Amino acid sequence: MKATALCMATGAIWLGGSMLLLLSLKDFFNATDFILFHTFNGLTLVFLNALLLNTTLRKRFRQLQQSSQWYQQLFKEGPLPRLVYDPISLQILEVNKAACQQYGYAEEELVRLHLQDLWAEPFPLEEWKKKEGPAASVMTLHRKKCGTRFYAQSLSSGPVHQGRGVRLLVLLDVNNRMLAEEKTKNAEEEIRKLSLVAEATQNAVIITNDKGQVEWVNEGFTRQTGYTLEEVKGKKPGSFLQGPGTDPKAVDFLREHLRLQKKFKVELLNYRKDNSPYWVRLFITPVFNEAGALIQYIAIETDITERMQFIAKLERQNQQLKNIARISSHEIRRPVASILGLVNLFDSREADPQFHQEVIQYLKLAGKELDEVIHLIVNKTYELEELEK
């Protein structure tokens, strides 16, 4: 349009100037000269227009070349995967290097595929055929040649390619973001489930920060200890649960394993809010973040008071049995040995009544001692029966 206007303007100026010159010199020209002048003037005008048009076309051609080079740089060498496809058949027409690298196909392989061949989920064929307008964006799950899946934000727009209407698909790889969101969603769901378990369990659950200060406790902890979260938040559990009967060796074991940041279990005597003692089996697990840094401890306390009381009862019973065995083996042996010795002193050939009388007195003393030992064993047996109740 610009070249046409320029040629018309040049022709008008040339013709106007020629006519003025001819009118001013008409007295000096005859008919033949006038025809020759007009012929020369027309040829000159044609030459000038051709020269001007050639210059304009060459400039336009250079601009097209630059535009083509810019297109090659923008499309072919661009960092984002780009695919040109037919909006009707969804046939892939052209791709760039980034698309080949993203999908793992050679360029000649990709241009033989259709758009739905690259999707890893049911492809909304009719929906994509209807996509019109300057741009349309959708989150899609794609599949590489090797079968690996990845998420991408797909932006579809409608340029013209090789004289026909096509659409350009630009992919923004958001796989890491989507996987992180899925991981976060799964983690939140896992936390929700664990929270339900923690709330419902009869065991006490304590969550502390990396310094061992309480961040959260469940209802089981309150039922077991009498303390609420508001009362213990920010405190270390040992500062209000341990007491005079807590074994120092168990406390040292606990502290050492906390320092080593390893999971462990330990049994120790704790004290409730009302100062009543109770035994717990304590499982402690450290929690680390993705960088490997300690962020929390999770402790689960199981009340084992009844078991420990039963063990203590068995130990007392065992001690009673040991006492009975000692009495049976040592205390009974002495009077029995005395009786046997005195019996041996009886001799039918010995007729001294006084001697026999003395032996009988000793036998009575030994029998009395044996009776006392038997009563002692019976009493110990009664005590053992009381322990079993």
> Mean pLDDT by 10-residue block, N- to C-terminus, for the chain (389 residues)?
55 56 55 56 62 69 62 73 84 89 91 87 64 64 88 73 69 79 74 66 86 90 92 93 93 92 92 93 88 88 85 73 63 62 59 64 68 66 59
9 assigned to some structural domain: yes
105 assigned to some structural domain: yes
Do residues 193 and 186 touch, judged by C-beta distance below 8 A?
Answer: no
SS3 351: coil
Same domain, 37 and 50: yes
Do residues 223 and 199 touch, judged by C-beta distance below 8 A?
Answer: no
Q: Which of 97, 81, 187, 91 is nearest to 140 (CA)?
A: 81
The reported pLDDT for the residue numbered 225 is: 93
Quote the tokens at residue 343. Answer: 């019996």
Listed in sequence order, the residues at least 6 apart from 258 whose beta carbon sits closer than 8 Å to its beta carbon are 212, 284, 297
The reported pLDDT for the residue numbered 178 is: 76
The reported pLDDT for the residue numbered 235 is: 94
Same domain, 160 and 83: yes
Same domain, 247 and 326: no
184 assigned to some structural domain: no
Do residues 6 and 21 touch, judged by C-beta distance below 8 A?
Answer: no
SS3 160: strand
CA distance 88 to 105: 23
Digit-coded pLDDT (tens) for 54-65 = 677 677 766 665
Choose the final residue of a domain: 48, 75, 102: 75
287 assigned to some structural domain: yes
186 assigned to some structural domain: no
363 assigned to some structural domain: yes
The reported pLDDT for the residue numbered 230 is: 93
384 assigned to some structural domain: yes
Query: Please, what's the largest Cα pairwise distance for the chain?
Result: 206
Number of domains observed in the structure of the chain = 4
Tally: H helices and E strands in the chain:
13, 12
Backbone angles phi, psi at 351, to 5 degrees: -105, 10
Please report how the helices 305-326 and 353-388 are oriented relative to each other, as an axis angle in degrees rounded to 10. 170
Segments forming the whole domain that contains residue 319: 309-388
The reported pLDDT for the residue numbered 133 is: 53
Same domain, 273 and 364: no
DSSP string, 161-187: ETTEE-EEEEEEE-HHHHHHHHHHHHH
Same domain, 83 and 164: yes
Choose the final residue of a domain: 274, 303, 332: 303
Digit-coded pLDDT (tens) for 104-150 = 999 999 989 988 888 887 766 566 555 555 556 777 888 899 988 88
Same domain, 205 and 298: yes
Same domain, 68 and 97: no
144: CATH = 3.30.450.20
Choose the final residue of a domain: 43, 75, 107: 75
The reported pLDDT for the residue numbered 104 is: 92
Whether the full predicted model's pTM is greater than 0.85, yes or no, is no
Same domain, 130 and 57: no
DSSP string, 244-261: TTS-HHHHHHHHHHHHHT
Do residues 241 and 271 touch, judged by C-beta distance below 8 A?
Answer: yes
Same domain, 124 and 51: no
286 assigned to some structural domain: yes
Q: How many CA atoms lie within 13 A of 268 on its CB side?
A: 24
Same domain, 208 and 152: no
Do residues 328 and 377 touch, judged by C-beta distance below 8 A?
Answer: yes
Same domain, 169 and 213: no
* Helix, strand, coil in percent for the chain, rounding step 5: 55, 20, 20
What single DSSP character describes residue 114?
B
CA distance 305 to 203: 13
Do residues 284 and 297 touch, judged by C-beta distance below 8 A?
Answer: yes
Same domain, 333 and 383: yes
- Mean residue pLDDT of the chain comes to 75
